[in-house]
Every structure is written in structure tokens, then in C-alpha cells.
Amino acid sequence: MQKVYLDNAATTQVRDEVIAKMQEALGQFYGNPSSTHSYGRSAKTAVEKARKNIAKTLNAQPSEIIFTSGGTEADNMILRCAVRDLAIKTIITSKIEHHAVLHTAEELEKEYGVSLEFVDLDENGNPDLNHLKTLLREDDSKKLVSLMHVNNEIGNIIDIGQIGELCKENGALFHSDTVQSVGHYPWDVQKIDIDFFTAAAHKFHGPKGIGFAFIRKNSGLKPMIFGGAQERGFRAGTEPFHNIVGLEEAFVKAYEGLEKETEFVKELKRYFLEKVQQEIPDAIFNGFSGDMDKSTYTLVNVRLPFDKQKGLMLLFHLDMKGIACSKGSACQSGSNLGSHVLSQILPEEELEKPSLRFSFSKYNTKEELDYTIAVLKEFAES
């Protein structure tokens, strides 16, 4: 049976170079980075080298990079600390954010009594910037805007620069969950009015369990996790040195080959869109995922012309044929509630039809896409 992995928005295959770096770290550089002897100093040097390399690529300062266990922790940390430490009274977000943001904001509403406001979305899932302006100017409360750069289910790309400018003009802080874009798009934090953003290594061919938060210098945030003095006192706990060097290697390789790999994956997406339109002409692409300019090149979310009963068997059928994809975020795989993203942009009758997210990487081939579409077509005609 052919095996095809098209769930790269959930997690990616780890690069061989990353595995080699991590094995070296686990086997040779096992000192605690907080220890003062040579073993510890070697590990500490490597941690700080990783921080500097990441900061340099982002045009940030090393002190603005805080290593975390991944995007979820980083999102939680930033939102919670902003409310606690910066007197945030209003959080403005959207109903199609990742649950790391949505559920955190909901809890902060309960715990701290912050006002939770949702910006209107257009029919494709993009935020209404005129409504955002209205929300920003509604009252004098200290506000935090949290809107994700690339939506993890439908791939829409928001104008992060324009939103940052709006926030700055109105005295609001701006946070973005950028887990689906860091490692896939160039960044220069000196050219964007953004206060906080987040990344996870496993989205760009690195290990799971490691990521980072960008926290603008002199933000005023204080630690959420207390203990030792790691991460300049901001996040206590012994640094997972092997994961940090794995993150660094994946990050460096992603940006060294960004132009070449981006063009390769873009061509895969273009090909997939064309083949779906040819072979299953009644299929519809959700959000802007069928638009090469308005969505990320890494994923497609397609709504297939099957009834609900047949749709229930679709993922199982694909899995039996060796094809891995998803019906939404991997974080919702155990939920029967369906996609909270699609529920905001599709009418009820369209939600009954199966929607699948196919996401691509440098390790995929056109032959794999041909096989996948042939399986989908066969299922449609059965």
C-alpha cells in the first residue's frame, strides 16, 4: 500500500540534519546549561547561539526570544501575562483563532473579568478591518488584539502589517499566533508593529515540544513559570538543550532554503488545485485556500460533494488507502463538534458536506498528489 503524508499543518517530518544535531546533543553535550562547569558551559553556549541565530533571522534582539514548549504555551503565556501585568481590560480576537488563543481568552474573561470582543469576519473568514477600527476606538480601556497570521484550517493570510499599524495608532498591543507562518515566510520585526508572536519547531521540520515566543523588549511582562533563573528569569525550568538545538537547525535550514522550498511547495499546491478542479469539479475550496495569493502555499481545505453519511467514511477510507490528512486542526481530532472555523463561514447545509485539509511539504511529490486525487475520485464515484 502506498503511504502519503498530507497533514503537514498538523506536524512535519523532521529533517535528517535536525535528527543528527539532536543525537549529537543527547550523546555528547548533556550538561545542564545552568551548571558552571565545562559541561554546563558548553550546553549554555549552544542555547545562546541558537537564540542569537533565531533573533538575527527575525531582525530581533536575542533577549526578545524566549524558548517554550511550543505554540500553545507561548500563546497562553503572552495572553495571561498581558492581562495580569499590563492592565489589559479588553481582548479583541476572532472566532476562528486556534483554541490556544480562544480558550485562553475565554478563561481570562472568567478569571479577570476582561471584556472579550470578536471582530467580524467576511464570508471567506478574513477579519473586517473597519470593524476592528470600531472595536479599537470603542472605549479607553487598555486593549490587546490577538489575530493569527495564517489560519491553520483554511490557510487565510491576514494583513499583519496593516493590523499592527491600526493597533499602534489606537494604543493597543498586538499579538499574533504565527505558528503556521514562522519557518515558511520571511520576518523582520523592525518593519512590523507587533508586540508578541509565537512559533513551534514541529511545523517547520523540527522536533515537537519546543518553540519560542517573541516578546518585544521592555514589554513589561513578568514570568508565568517560577523557579530557577533560566531564560533570563522569564521561564524557569532546565532548558531542553537537545530540543533547542533541533529547533535552531530546523529554523536555520528553513530560512537557508526558503525561496527554493517555497517555490517547490507552491507548485505542489497549484498542481493539487488544478487536479481537484479537473477530476472532482463540484469540489469547493473553503475560505481563501484555493487562492494562491490570499492563502498560504502550504495547505488546501476542500469541501467535497458528498452527503453526510458518505462523508463519515471518507477519512477512514483515505487512511485505509495510506493517505494522511485531516478534517480540521489536529487538536480537535477527538472532538465530534466539527470545525469551529468552518462553522463561522459556511451555512448549515454546507457544513453537512465533508471538508478535508490537505497540507504539503518539501517531502511530497506530484505522484503522491495524483494517487490521492485518484482515491478521492474513486470514492466519489462509488
Over the stretch 331-379, which tens digit does the pLDDT of each residue have? 555 455 689 999 999 999 999 999 999 999 999 999 999 999 999 999 9
pLDDT in tens, 58-87: 999 999 999 999 999 999 999 999 999 999
pLDDT in tens, 9-52: 999 999 999 999 999 999 988 899 999 999 999 999 999 999 99
> Is the per-residue pLDDT at 170 higher than 80?
yes
Position 310 scores a pLDDT of 87
> Is the per-residue pLDDT at 206 higher than 80?
yes
> Is the per-residue pLDDT at 329 higher than 90?
no
SS3 string, the chain, reads CCCEECECCCCCCCCHHHHHHHHHHHHHCCCCCCCCCHHHHHHHHHHHHHHHHHHHHHCCCHHHEEEECCHHHHHHHHHHHHHHHCCCCEEEECCCCCHHHHHHHHHHHHHHCCEEEECCECCCCCECHHHHHHHHCCCCCCEEEECCCECCCCCEECCHHHHHHHHHHCCCEEEEECCCCECCECCCCCCCCCCEEEEEHHHCCCCCCCEEEEECCCCCCCCCECCCCCHHHCECCCCCHHHHHHHHHHHHHHHHCHHHHHHHHHHHHHHHHHHHHHHCCCCEECCCCCCCCCECCCEEEEECCCCHHHHCCHHHHHHHCCEECECCCHHHCCCCCCCCCHHHHCCHHHHCCCEEEEECCCCCCHHHHHHHHHHHHHHHHC
Q: What is the mean pLDDT of the chain?
A: 95
Confidence of residue 152 (pLDDT cuts 50, 70, 90): very high
Q: What is the mean pLDDT of residues 124-129?
A: 97
pLDDT in tens, 174-190: 999 999 999 999 999 99
Domains of the chain: 4-12+258-381 (3.90.1150.10), 16-256 (3.40.640.10)
Position 331 scores a pLDDT of 55
Position 240 scores a pLDDT of 95
Position 336 scores a pLDDT of 57
Query: Does pTM surpass 0.85?
Result: yes
Contact 149, 178 (CB under 8 A): yes
Catalytic site positions: 331
Percentage of the chain with pLDDT > 90?
Answer: 93
Confidence of residue 330 (pLDDT cuts 50, 70, 90): low
Q: What is the mean pLDDT of residues 308-313?
A: 87
Percentage of the chain with pLDDT > 70?
Answer: 97
